[in-house]
Amino acid sequence: MELKDLAVTESELRLEIRRQGSTKHTTTFIGEGGVVLGKSLRGTAVYKFRGNEKYVRARVQASNGDIAWTQPVFPAE
């Protein structure tokens, strides 16, 4: 699994995964205390900041068992 692109703006965290064959991916956006903030099954996963997050990080799990994490992103206040 490969993360093709990661972009952070004032309003969102966008993560694009390079697909390999028929492997499926689940992206989970996680906040402070391990709270799940959202999930995506798309090749490009987007989390829109709500304004109350201390940080957000993404965990990508592939159907073949591979897992990738991003570093925490700290939204602008």
29-64 pLDDT, tens digit per residue, is 999 999 999 999 998 999 999 999 999 999 999 999
Task: Find the domain containing 64 and state its range.
Answer: 2-69
Percentage, residues of the chain above pLDDT 90: 82
- Classify residue 77: in a domain, yes or no: no
pTM: 0.92
- Classify residue 75: in a domain, yes or no: no
Contact 17, 60 (CB under 8 A): yes
What's the domain count of the chain? 1
Contact 20, 1 (CB under 8 A): yes
CB atoms within 10 A of CB 45: 21
User: In CATH, what number is assigned to the domain containing residue 10?
Assistant: 2.60.40
Coil vs helix vs strand at 6: strand
**Per-residue pLDDT at 76 exceeds 80:** no
State the pLDDT at residue 21.
84
Percentage, residues of the chain above pLDDT 70: 99
Q: What is the mean pLDDT of residues 11-18?
A: 94
